[in-house]
Structure 1
Protein backbone atom coordinates (compact mmCIF):
# COMPACT_ATOMS: atom_id res chain seq x y z
CA UNK A 1 0.00 0.00 0.00
CA UNK A 2 1.33 3.45 -0.88
CA UNK A 3 1.83 5.95 1.94
CA UNK A 4 -0.92 8.20 0.56
CA UNK A 5 -3.34 5.25 0.53
CA UNK A 6 -2.26 4.31 4.05
CA UNK A 7 -2.96 7.81 5.36
CA UNK A 8 -6.29 7.90 3.52
CA UNK A 9 -7.18 4.64 5.29
CA UNK A 10 -6.05 5.94 8.69
CA UNK A 11 -8.29 9.01 8.35
CA UNK A 12 -11.23 7.13 6.83
CA UNK A 13 -13.78 8.14 9.47
CA UNK A 14 -13.24 11.90 9.09
CA UNK A 15 -12.53 11.65 5.34
CA UNK A 16 -15.72 9.73 4.57
CA UNK A 17 -17.74 12.03 6.82
CA UNK A 18 -16.49 15.01 4.80
CA UNK A 19 -17.07 13.38 1.40
CA UNK A 20 -20.58 12.33 2.42
CA UNK A 21 -21.35 15.52 4.32
CA UNK A 22 -24.79 17.08 4.37
CA UNK A 23 -23.37 20.10 2.53
CA UNK A 24 -21.98 17.93 -0.27
CA UNK A 25 -25.30 16.11 -0.60
CA UNK A 26 -27.27 19.37 -0.72
CA UNK A 27 -24.82 20.85 -3.20
CA UNK A 28 -25.26 17.88 -5.52
CA UNK A 29 -29.05 18.07 -5.25
CA UNK A 30 -29.04 21.82 -5.80
CA UNK A 31 -30.77 22.08 -2.43
CA UNK A 32 -28.25 24.14 -0.45
CA UNK A 33 -30.01 27.25 0.85
CA UNK A 34 -28.53 30.67 -0.06
CA UNK A 35 -27.42 31.41 3.54
CA UNK A 36 -25.53 28.09 3.62
CA UNK A 37 -23.91 28.74 0.24
CA UNK A 38 -23.02 32.25 1.34
CA UNK A 39 -21.45 31.03 4.58
CA UNK A 40 -19.48 28.34 2.78
CA UNK A 41 -18.16 30.46 -0.09
CA UNK A 42 -17.38 33.50 2.07
CA UNK A 43 -15.12 31.26 4.14
CA UNK A 44 -13.70 29.35 1.16
CA UNK A 45 -12.88 32.64 -0.56
CA UNK A 46 -10.44 33.33 2.28
CA UNK A 47 -8.35 30.32 1.26
CA UNK A 48 -7.60 31.58 -2.22
CA UNK A 49 -4.60 33.78 -1.53
CA UNK A 50 -3.12 31.34 1.01
CA UNK A 51 -3.57 28.46 -1.42
CA UNK A 52 -1.86 30.37 -4.22
CA UNK A 53 1.00 31.19 -1.87
CA UNK A 54 1.28 27.55 -0.76
CA UNK A 55 1.30 26.34 -4.35
CA UNK A 56 4.00 28.91 -5.13
CA UNK A 57 6.04 27.62 -2.19
CA UNK A 58 5.68 24.09 -3.55
CA UNK A 59 6.96 25.30 -6.93
CA UNK A 60 10.03 26.75 -5.22
CA UNK A 61 10.60 23.73 -2.95
CA UNK A 62 10.07 21.00 -5.58
CA UNK A 63 13.06 18.70 -5.87
CA UNK A 64 12.70 17.93 -9.59
CA UNK A 65 12.25 20.21 -12.62
CA UNK A 66 9.41 18.03 -13.91
CA UNK A 67 7.46 18.48 -10.69
CA UNK A 68 8.07 22.22 -10.69
CA UNK A 69 6.58 22.55 -14.19
CA UNK A 70 3.40 20.63 -13.25
CA UNK A 71 2.93 22.73 -10.13
CA UNK A 72 3.55 25.98 -12.00
CA UNK A 73 0.99 25.11 -14.65
CA UNK A 74 -1.60 24.36 -11.98
CA UNK A 75 -0.82 27.66 -10.30
CA UNK A 76 -1.77 29.43 -13.52
CA UNK A 77 -5.07 27.57 -13.70
CA UNK A 78 -5.93 28.41 -10.09
CA UNK A 79 -5.26 32.09 -10.72
CA UNK A 80 -7.62 32.03 -13.73
CA UNK A 81 -10.94 30.13 -13.81
CA UNK A 82 -11.24 29.53 -10.06
CA UNK A 83 -10.50 33.16 -9.22
CA UNK A 84 -13.16 34.26 -11.72
CA UNK A 85 -15.67 31.82 -10.19
CA UNK A 86 -15.29 33.34 -6.74
CA UNK A 87 -15.80 36.88 -8.03
CA UNK A 88 -19.00 35.89 -9.84
CA UNK A 89 -20.25 33.87 -6.88
CA UNK A 90 -19.74 36.71 -4.41
CA UNK A 91 -21.77 38.95 -6.72
CA UNK A 92 -24.55 36.39 -7.22
CA UNK A 93 -24.91 35.81 -3.49
CA UNK A 94 -24.90 39.56 -2.73
CA UNK A 95 -21.94 39.27 -0.40
CA UNK A 96 -20.98 42.73 0.93
CA UNK A 97 -17.41 43.90 0.48
CA UNK A 98 -16.40 43.51 4.16
CA UNK A 99 -17.43 39.83 4.08
CA UNK A 100 -15.43 39.31 0.90
CA UNK A 101 -12.27 40.88 2.29
CA UNK A 102 -12.28 40.55 6.10
CA UNK A 103 -15.11 38.27 7.26
CA UNK A 104 -15.28 36.75 10.70
CA UNK A 105 -13.42 33.46 10.27
CA UNK A 106 -14.73 30.13 11.49
CA UNK A 107 -12.43 28.03 13.65
CA UNK A 108 -11.94 25.59 10.76
CA UNK A 109 -11.05 28.37 8.33
CA UNK A 110 -8.59 29.88 10.76
CA UNK A 111 -7.07 26.48 11.43
CA UNK A 112 -6.64 25.65 7.76
CA UNK A 113 -5.13 29.05 7.00
CA UNK A 114 -2.64 28.49 9.79
CA UNK A 115 -1.82 25.01 8.47
CA UNK A 116 -1.26 26.33 4.94
CA UNK A 117 0.93 29.14 6.24
CA UNK A 118 2.97 26.72 8.34
CA UNK A 119 3.50 24.47 5.32
CA UNK A 120 4.47 27.44 3.14
CA UNK A 121 6.90 28.85 5.67
CA UNK A 122 8.49 25.44 6.20
CA UNK A 123 9.79 25.53 2.60
CA UNK A 124 9.63 21.73 2.88
CA UNK A 125 8.33 20.06 -0.26
CA UNK A 126 6.84 17.03 1.52
CA UNK A 127 4.90 19.23 3.93
CA UNK A 128 3.61 21.50 1.17
CA UNK A 129 2.55 18.46 -0.83
CA UNK A 130 0.72 16.99 2.15
CA UNK A 131 -1.59 19.97 2.58
CA UNK A 132 -2.14 20.32 -1.17
CA UNK A 133 -2.89 16.62 -1.51
CA UNK A 134 -5.58 16.54 1.16
CA UNK A 135 -7.23 19.72 -0.14
CA UNK A 136 -7.38 18.50 -3.74
CA UNK A 137 -7.87 14.75 -3.29
CA UNK A 138 -10.74 15.06 -0.82
CA UNK A 139 -12.51 17.50 -3.14
CA UNK A 140 -12.04 15.21 -6.12
CA UNK A 141 -13.51 12.42 -4.00
CA UNK A 142 -16.75 14.26 -3.25
CA UNK A 143 -17.01 15.89 -6.70
CA UNK A 144 -16.58 12.64 -8.63
CA UNK A 145 -19.97 10.89 -8.71
CA UNK A 146 -20.11 8.85 -11.92
CA UNK A 147 -23.58 8.83 -13.43
CA UNK A 148 -24.95 11.51 -11.10
CA UNK A 149 -26.83 14.42 -12.65
CA UNK A 150 -25.17 17.81 -12.27
CA UNK A 151 -27.36 20.26 -10.33
CA UNK A 152 -29.14 22.96 -12.33
CA UNK A 153 -27.82 26.03 -10.52
CA UNK A 154 -24.62 27.42 -11.98
CA UNK A 155 -22.93 27.89 -8.61
CA UNK A 156 -23.06 24.24 -7.47
CA UNK A 157 -22.59 22.88 -10.99
CA UNK A 158 -19.49 25.00 -11.72
CA UNK A 159 -18.02 24.31 -8.28
CA UNK A 160 -18.39 20.58 -8.91
CA UNK A 161 -16.90 20.83 -12.40
CA UNK A 162 -13.87 22.72 -11.06
CA UNK A 163 -13.05 19.70 -8.90
CA UNK A 164 -13.50 16.76 -11.21
CA UNK A 165 -12.83 15.59 -14.76
CA UNK A 166 -9.74 14.09 -16.41
CA UNK A 167 -7.51 17.14 -15.95
CA UNK A 168 -8.27 17.51 -12.26
CA UNK A 169 -7.92 13.76 -11.72
CA UNK A 170 -4.49 13.86 -13.36
CA UNK A 171 -3.51 16.72 -11.06
CA UNK A 172 -4.49 14.69 -7.99
CA UNK A 173 -2.68 11.63 -9.40
CA UNK A 174 0.44 13.76 -9.74
CA UNK A 175 0.16 15.01 -6.15
CA UNK A 176 -0.25 11.45 -4.87
CA UNK A 177 2.64 10.12 -6.91
CA UNK A 178 5.01 12.92 -5.90
CA UNK A 179 3.89 12.68 -2.28
CA UNK A 180 4.57 8.93 -2.25
CA UNK A 181 7.93 9.48 -3.95
CA UNK A 182 9.27 12.14 -1.58
CA UNK A 183 7.91 10.53 1.60
CA UNK A 184 9.46 7.17 0.68
CA UNK A 185 12.90 8.49 1.66
CA UNK A 186 11.84 10.08 4.95
CA UNK A 187 12.84 8.55 8.25
CA UNK A 188 10.22 7.49 10.79
CA UNK A 189 10.12 10.92 12.42
CA UNK A 190 9.62 12.60 9.07
CA UNK A 191 6.80 10.25 8.10
CA UNK A 192 5.15 10.76 11.48
CA UNK A 193 5.29 14.52 10.95
CA UNK A 194 3.72 14.21 7.50
CA UNK A 195 1.04 11.90 8.87
CA UNK A 196 0.19 14.44 11.57
CA UNK A 197 -0.20 17.21 8.98
CA UNK A 198 -2.33 14.94 6.77
CA UNK A 199 -4.64 14.02 9.66
CA UNK A 200 -5.00 17.63 10.77
CA UNK A 201 -5.88 18.72 7.24
CA UNK A 202 -8.60 16.07 6.93
CA UNK A 203 -10.11 17.05 10.28
CA UNK A 204 -10.17 20.69 9.22
CA UNK A 205 -11.88 19.84 5.92
CA UNK A 206 -14.68 18.14 7.85
CA UNK A 207 -14.93 21.04 10.25
CA UNK A 208 -15.10 23.44 7.33
CA UNK A 209 -18.22 21.76 5.94
CA UNK A 210 -19.78 21.73 9.41
CA UNK A 211 -19.18 25.46 9.77
CA UNK A 212 -21.51 26.29 6.86
CA UNK A 213 -24.45 25.46 9.15
CA UNK A 214 -23.29 27.38 12.20
CA UNK A 215 -24.13 30.89 11.06
Structure 2
Protein backbone atom coordinates (compact mmCIF):
# COMPACT_ATOMS: atom_id res chain seq x y z
CA UNK A 1 0.00 0.00 0.00
CA UNK A 2 1.36 3.41 -0.94
CA UNK A 3 1.92 6.13 1.64
CA UNK A 4 -0.81 8.30 0.11
CA UNK A 5 -3.33 5.47 0.24
CA UNK A 6 -2.45 5.05 3.91
CA UNK A 7 -3.22 8.74 4.44
CA UNK A 8 -6.56 8.38 2.66
CA UNK A 9 -7.46 5.38 4.81
CA UNK A 10 -6.33 7.16 7.96
CA UNK A 11 -8.52 10.15 7.08
CA UNK A 12 -11.33 8.16 5.48
CA UNK A 13 -14.18 10.08 7.16
CA UNK A 14 -12.90 13.43 5.90
CA UNK A 15 -12.08 11.98 2.48
CA UNK A 16 -15.59 10.61 2.12
CA UNK A 17 -17.02 13.94 3.25
CA UNK A 18 -15.15 15.62 0.41
CA UNK A 19 -15.84 13.06 -2.30
CA UNK A 20 -19.43 12.12 -1.45
CA UNK A 21 -20.87 15.55 -0.87
CA UNK A 22 -24.49 16.36 -1.80
CA UNK A 23 -23.24 19.18 -4.04
CA UNK A 24 -21.26 16.91 -6.35
CA UNK A 25 -23.79 14.09 -6.03
CA UNK A 26 -26.55 16.42 -7.23
CA UNK A 27 -24.30 17.79 -9.97
CA UNK A 28 -23.80 14.25 -11.27
CA UNK A 29 -27.48 13.37 -11.08
CA UNK A 30 -28.40 16.62 -12.83
CA UNK A 31 -30.51 17.87 -9.91
CA UNK A 32 -28.25 20.66 -8.65
CA UNK A 33 -30.10 23.96 -8.88
CA UNK A 34 -28.80 26.76 -11.09
CA UNK A 35 -28.33 28.99 -8.05
CA UNK A 36 -26.21 26.39 -6.24
CA UNK A 37 -24.19 25.73 -9.39
CA UNK A 38 -23.67 29.47 -9.78
CA UNK A 39 -22.41 29.80 -6.20
CA UNK A 40 -20.13 26.80 -6.62
CA UNK A 41 -18.61 27.98 -9.89
CA UNK A 42 -18.15 31.62 -8.91
CA UNK A 43 -16.42 30.53 -5.71
CA UNK A 44 -14.34 27.89 -7.49
CA UNK A 45 -13.28 30.46 -10.06
CA UNK A 46 -11.41 32.22 -7.25
CA UNK A 47 -9.28 29.09 -6.86
CA UNK A 48 -8.81 28.70 -10.59
CA UNK A 49 -7.28 32.14 -10.84
CA UNK A 50 -4.64 31.12 -8.28
CA UNK A 51 -4.15 27.56 -9.57
CA UNK A 52 -2.14 28.64 -12.60
CA UNK A 53 0.23 30.61 -10.37
CA UNK A 54 0.45 27.66 -8.01
CA UNK A 55 1.32 25.23 -10.78
CA UNK A 56 3.85 27.72 -12.09
CA UNK A 57 5.51 27.66 -8.67
CA UNK A 58 5.45 23.85 -8.65
CA UNK A 59 7.02 23.81 -12.09
CA UNK A 60 9.75 26.22 -10.98
CA UNK A 61 10.65 23.99 -8.03
CA UNK A 62 10.49 20.69 -9.90
CA UNK A 63 13.84 18.92 -10.17
CA UNK A 64 12.87 16.29 -12.75
CA UNK A 65 12.82 17.21 -16.49
CA UNK A 66 10.12 14.68 -17.40
CA UNK A 67 7.90 15.80 -14.57
CA UNK A 68 8.46 19.44 -15.55
CA UNK A 69 7.12 18.77 -19.05
CA UNK A 70 4.02 17.08 -17.63
CA UNK A 71 3.37 20.01 -15.31
CA UNK A 72 3.75 22.48 -18.16
CA UNK A 73 1.23 20.55 -20.26
CA UNK A 74 -1.31 20.69 -17.44
CA UNK A 75 -0.93 24.43 -17.12
CA UNK A 76 -1.78 24.73 -20.81
CA UNK A 77 -4.77 22.43 -20.42
CA UNK A 78 -6.17 24.47 -17.54
CA UNK A 79 -5.65 27.77 -19.32
CA UNK A 80 -7.66 26.55 -22.28
CA UNK A 81 -10.24 23.86 -21.51
CA UNK A 82 -11.13 24.64 -17.89
CA UNK A 83 -11.03 28.41 -18.39
CA UNK A 84 -13.47 28.07 -21.30
CA UNK A 85 -15.84 26.02 -19.16
CA UNK A 86 -16.05 28.71 -16.49
CA UNK A 87 -16.64 31.47 -19.04
CA UNK A 88 -19.24 29.56 -21.06
CA UNK A 89 -21.19 28.13 -18.14
CA UNK A 90 -21.34 31.30 -16.07
CA UNK A 91 -22.50 33.17 -19.18
CA UNK A 92 -25.28 30.61 -19.62
CA UNK A 93 -26.29 30.76 -15.96
CA UNK A 94 -26.62 34.54 -16.14
CA UNK A 95 -29.65 33.98 -18.42
CA UNK A 96 -31.41 31.90 -15.74
CA UNK A 97 -33.34 32.93 -12.64
CA UNK A 98 -30.66 33.58 -10.04
CA UNK A 99 -32.74 35.80 -7.78
CA UNK A 100 -31.94 33.63 -4.77
CA UNK A 101 -28.28 34.62 -5.03
CA UNK A 102 -28.78 38.22 -6.15
CA UNK A 103 -26.60 39.63 -3.37
CA UNK A 104 -23.70 37.36 -4.24
CA UNK A 105 -23.98 38.36 -7.91
CA UNK A 106 -24.19 42.08 -7.15
CA UNK A 107 -21.45 42.24 -4.53
CA UNK A 108 -19.20 39.40 -5.78
CA UNK A 109 -19.24 37.87 -2.33
CA UNK A 110 -16.42 35.51 -1.40
CA UNK A 111 -17.40 33.02 1.28
CA UNK A 112 -15.30 32.91 4.48
CA UNK A 113 -14.31 29.29 3.83
CA UNK A 114 -13.15 30.28 0.37
CA UNK A 115 -11.16 33.19 1.76
CA UNK A 116 -9.49 30.81 4.19
CA UNK A 117 -8.63 28.46 1.34
CA UNK A 118 -7.25 31.32 -0.76
CA UNK A 119 -5.03 32.42 2.11
CA UNK A 120 -3.52 28.96 2.10
CA UNK A 121 -2.98 29.16 -1.65
CA UNK A 122 -1.27 32.52 -1.21
CA UNK A 123 1.02 30.97 1.39
CA UNK A 124 1.92 28.13 -0.97
CA UNK A 125 2.56 30.51 -3.85
CA UNK A 126 4.39 33.26 -2.00
CA UNK A 127 6.08 31.62 0.96
CA UNK A 128 6.54 27.90 0.56
CA UNK A 129 9.75 26.68 -1.04
CA UNK A 130 8.96 23.00 -0.54
CA UNK A 131 8.20 21.03 -3.69
CA UNK A 132 7.02 18.20 -1.44
CA UNK A 133 4.45 20.45 0.21
CA UNK A 134 3.21 21.91 -3.05
CA UNK A 135 2.95 18.63 -4.94
CA UNK A 136 1.11 17.03 -2.01
CA UNK A 137 -1.42 19.84 -2.04
CA UNK A 138 -1.90 19.41 -5.80
CA UNK A 139 -2.45 15.69 -5.34
CA UNK A 140 -5.14 16.20 -2.70
CA UNK A 141 -6.92 18.87 -4.70
CA UNK A 142 -7.11 16.74 -7.84
CA UNK A 143 -7.66 13.40 -6.08
CA UNK A 144 -10.77 14.81 -4.43
CA UNK A 145 -12.19 15.80 -7.81
CA UNK A 146 -11.43 12.44 -9.36
CA UNK A 147 -12.85 10.86 -6.21
CA UNK A 148 -16.29 12.43 -6.42
CA UNK A 149 -16.64 11.46 -10.08
CA UNK A 150 -15.55 7.87 -9.39
CA UNK A 151 -17.91 7.62 -6.42
CA UNK A 152 -20.87 8.69 -8.54
CA UNK A 153 -19.82 6.31 -11.30
CA UNK A 154 -19.66 3.47 -8.78
CA UNK A 155 -23.19 4.12 -7.49
CA UNK A 156 -24.54 4.73 -11.01
CA UNK A 157 -25.55 8.28 -10.12
CA UNK A 158 -24.33 10.02 -13.28
CA UNK A 159 -27.45 10.68 -15.28
CA UNK A 160 -27.62 10.14 -19.02
CA UNK A 161 -27.95 13.09 -21.40
CA UNK A 162 -26.87 15.65 -18.81
CA UNK A 163 -26.80 19.33 -19.84
CA UNK A 164 -23.33 20.58 -20.78
CA UNK A 165 -23.13 22.67 -17.60
CA UNK A 166 -22.91 19.37 -15.69
CA UNK A 167 -21.44 16.92 -18.18
CA UNK A 168 -18.50 19.06 -19.21
CA UNK A 169 -17.45 19.57 -15.59
CA UNK A 170 -17.63 15.82 -15.01
CA UNK A 171 -15.65 15.16 -18.20
CA UNK A 172 -12.93 17.60 -17.15
CA UNK A 173 -12.41 15.58 -13.97
CA UNK A 174 -12.57 12.05 -15.32
CA UNK A 175 -11.37 9.95 -18.23
CA UNK A 176 -7.90 8.79 -19.16
CA UNK A 177 -6.35 12.27 -19.21
CA UNK A 178 -7.44 13.20 -15.71
CA UNK A 179 -6.76 9.75 -14.24
CA UNK A 180 -3.23 9.92 -15.67
CA UNK A 181 -2.76 13.42 -14.22
CA UNK A 182 -3.78 12.33 -10.72
CA UNK A 183 -1.55 9.26 -10.98
CA UNK A 184 1.34 11.51 -12.02
CA UNK A 185 0.81 13.65 -8.91
CA UNK A 186 0.63 10.51 -6.78
CA UNK A 187 3.91 9.28 -8.27
CA UNK A 188 5.59 12.63 -7.70
CA UNK A 189 4.68 12.63 -4.01
CA UNK A 190 5.96 9.08 -3.65
CA UNK A 191 9.16 10.05 -5.53
CA UNK A 192 9.73 12.95 -3.13
CA UNK A 193 9.25 10.65 -0.18
CA UNK A 194 11.96 8.31 -1.46
CA UNK A 195 14.36 11.14 -2.30
CA UNK A 196 13.95 12.77 1.07
CA UNK A 197 14.09 9.55 3.07
CA UNK A 198 17.88 9.55 3.04
CA UNK A 199 18.03 13.13 4.32
CA UNK A 200 15.09 13.23 6.68
CA UNK A 201 12.84 10.36 7.68
CA UNK A 202 10.06 12.72 8.81
CA UNK A 203 6.83 12.63 6.82
CA UNK A 204 5.19 15.42 8.81
CA UNK A 205 5.07 17.88 5.90
CA UNK A 206 3.21 15.37 3.73
CA UNK A 207 0.63 14.40 6.33
CA UNK A 208 0.00 17.94 7.60
CA UNK A 209 -0.44 19.21 4.03
CA UNK A 210 -2.71 16.30 3.17
CA UNK A 211 -4.98 16.79 6.17
CA UNK A 212 -5.17 20.59 5.86
CA UNK A 213 -5.89 20.47 2.12
CA UNK A 214 -8.54 17.79 2.52
CA UNK A 215 -10.40 19.75 5.19
CA UNK A 216 -10.29 22.90 3.08
CA UNK A 217 -11.84 21.00 0.17
CA UNK A 218 -14.60 19.55 2.36
CA UNK A 219 -15.39 22.93 3.90
CA UNK A 220 -15.47 24.53 0.46
CA UNK A 221 -18.14 22.15 -0.84
CA UNK A 222 -20.17 22.51 2.34
CA UNK A 223 -20.05 26.31 2.32
CA UNK A 224 -21.12 26.54 -1.33
CA UNK A 225 -23.94 24.05 -0.88
CA UNK A 226 -25.39 25.63 2.28
CA UNK A 227 -25.04 29.28 1.19
CA UNK A 228 -28.21 31.30 1.66
CA UNK A 229 -28.83 35.02 1.51
Q: Give me the TM-score of the superposition, normalised by structure 1.
A: 0.91
CA distance in 2, matches of 1:101, 1:170: 39
**8 Å Cα contact 2:30/2:159 also seen in 1:** no
CA distance in 1, matches of 2:161, 2:133: 35
- Aligned equivalent of 1:131: 137
- Aligned equivalent of 1:114: 119
149-158 or 58-67, larger mean C-alpha shift: 149-158
Q: Relative contact order (alpha carbons < 8 A, sep ≥ 6): 1 or 2 greater? A: 2
Cα 1:203–1:76 change in 2 (3 A) is same
CA distance in 1, matches of 2:120, 2:8: 18
Unaligned 5+ segments in structure 2 are none
- Aligned equivalent of 1:48: 48
Unaligned 5+ segments in structure 1 are none
CA distance in 2, matches of 1:68, 1:75: 11
**Equivalent of 2:217 in 200, 205, 211:** 205
Using the TM superposition, give the Cα deviation of residue 93 of structure 1 relative to its aligned residue in structure 2, in angstroms.
1.4
**8 Å Cα contact 1:52/1:75 also seen in 2:** yes
CA distance in 2, matches of 1:127, 1:69: 20
**Secondary structure of the structure 1 residue equivalent to 2:162:** coil
- The one-character-per-residue Cα deviations of 1:18-55 (angstroms, maximum 9, x if unpaired) are 21111111111100011111111110011112111010
CA distance in 1, matches of 2:122, 2:10: 24
Using the TM superposition, give the Cα deviation of residue 108 of structure 1 relative to its aligned residue in structure 2, in angstroms.
2.2
CA distance in 2, matches of 1:89, 1:123: 35
- Aligned equivalent of 2:188: 178
Note the aligned Cα RMSD (angstroms). Answer: 2.1
Cα 1:2–1:19 change in 2 (3 A) is same
**Equivalent of 1:142 in 148, 157, 182:** 148
- Report how many aligned residue pairs link the two structures: 213
